[in-house]
Structure 1
Amino acid sequence: MQDTRDIVVLMKDGDEAAFKELYTAYSPGIFSLGYKVLKNREWAEEVVQETFLKLWIHREEVDTEKSLWPYLYVIGKRICFNKLRDLKYDQRAVKELYLNIVLAEEDNKVHYNELQSLLNGAVAQLSERQRLVWKMSREEGFTHQQIADELGLSTHTVKNHIVQILKFLRNGLKKSDYIYFWLFFYFFYFFQ
């Protein structure tokens, strides 16, 4: 192996073989630094790659009169600290995102409860027969034929009841101007 100083001079002139030789000589030390600081093999490997990328990009600035190790060490250390800062920021962002999701879920529960209350109030205004048809159709999942058989009605009568119920609920709930209800009502009750 040549003198390290001679290898650095060759690397400064763009000699890739010299660069590879320096990589082989110094990458284990940079990896150890990265692993010691970050406690993660993959991140330590990233520190090695970024350190030597910076060395190659800024190779002309390297002082051949000084040892290369302190130069690489400072670069590696800065990369480690930047990564720690980024990880801290990422963790903060993840926590914030999680908090937003939890708050949105709570908000959705409140809206759902309000919507359910509006729907229950509207259903309570139906006749007893209509409430029974509604319950069997939408809450218990009966088909029109099953409802007809259970109540001794024709399927045509059951369909008419469902149409009248939906029309009543639409007209009654339009007055509430509750857009969330309409979205819920539309997707939940018409696509069952």
Structure 2
Amino acid sequence: MDRVSELRNNSEAAFESVFVEYRFPLYNFLYRKIESDFVAREVVQLTFIKLWRFRHHLDPGMDIAIQLFRIAKTTLIDELRKVEVRERHYASMPPAPVATDSVMDVVTYNDTKARLLKLLDLLPPKRREVFELSRLHCRSNSEIAEIMAISPKTVENHLTLALRFMRPFFSCLLIIFANLVML
């Protein structure tokens, strides 16, 4: 029995053999395309997740390598589109306060924006996406759940964890700012 048929029949051994055989060729293929170790590794992981998730849709008449590289290519395109949307969104963020504001306001705004972007980079990808849809795109939990194909409770959990993670960084900033104002 060939590996595509074995995968379609839920063979974990077939999946493992495909993984062992193709993880490095996939990584090399993706790395040559984007020259990013992190993105290449992420896309390889997502490719194998999709391979297992959609194993019943594999074409038994087509070689596993062709199907696997096709999944990797479309996954890479999806990830690059997400990055492009994120960058466009950041570009559309409100500008720094106008020149009539004090220098301190401009510095505080720029510092806060930089901290937010750094903290967003530290969040797991799915949690970051939920946070951005909620707080930056003003989407409701039910809209986010529908967009991301997850339950509203999962959206709520992601938001709670994201805010719990970010809050200490911003509370320190508020304490520092309050002390400067009192001087």
Q: TM-score, normalised by structure 2?
A: 0.52
Residue of structure 2 in register with 1:44 after alignment = 40
- On the 8 A contact 2:51/2:68 being kept in 1, the answer is yes
Shift of 1:96: 2.7
- Aligned-pair Cα RMSD in Å: 2.8
Shift of 1:78: 1.0
> Between Structure 1 and Structure 2, whose CA radius of gyration is higher?
1
How many residues were matched structurally?
111
Shift of 1:68: 1.1
In structure 2, the CA distance between the partners of 1:54 and 1:108, relative to structure 1 (3 Å rule), is same
Letter aligned with residue 102 of structure 2? K
Residue of structure 2 in register with 1:69 after alignment = 65
Deviation >3 Å, runs of 4+: none
Residue of structure 1 in register with 2:26 after alignment = 30
Q: Secondary structure at the match of 1:65?
A: coil
Shift of 1:33: 2.3
In structure 2, the CA distance between the partners of 1:77 and 1:191, relative to structure 1 (3 Å rule), is same
Shift of 1:37: 2.1
Residue of structure 2 in register with 1:17 after alignment = 13
Letter aligned with residue 182 of structure 2? F
Q: Does 2:102 match 1:109?
A: yes
Shift of 1:71: 1.0
In structure 2, the CA distance between the partners of 1:107 and 1:26, relative to structure 1 (3 Å rule), is farther
Shift of 1:8: 2.5
Match of 1:85 among 81, 84, 90: 81
Return 5+ residue gaps in structure 2 as ranges: 106-177
Shift of 1:16: 1.0
- CA distance in 1: counterparts of 2:46 and 2:8, whole angstroms: 18
* CA displacement, residues 124-161 of structure 1 (integer Å, 9 cap, x when unaligned): xxxxxxxxxxxxxxxxxxxxxxxxxxxxxxxxxxxxxx
- CA distance in 1: counterparts of 2:35 and 2:23, whole angstroms: 17
Q: Secondary structure at the match of 2:76?
A: helix
- CA distance in 2: counterparts of 1:107 and 1:21, whole angstroms: 64
Letter aligned with residue 61 of structure 1? H
Q: Secondary structure at the match of 2:99?
A: helix
- CA distance in 1: counterparts of 2:91 and 2:12, whole angstroms: 44
- CA distance in 2: counterparts of 1:73 and 1:191, whole angstroms: 60
Residue of structure 1 in register with 2:182 after alignment = 191
Letter aligned with residue 109 of structure 1? S
Q: Secondary structure at the match of 2:62?
A: coil
Shift of 1:7: 2.6
Query: Identical aligned pairs, as a percentage?
Result: 25
Letter aligned with residue 106 of structure 1? A
Shift of 1:105: 5.3
Residue of structure 2 in register with 1:6 after alignment = 2
- CA distance in 2: counterparts of 1:17 and 1:108, whole angstroms: 64
Q: Secondary structure at the match of 1:108?
A: coil
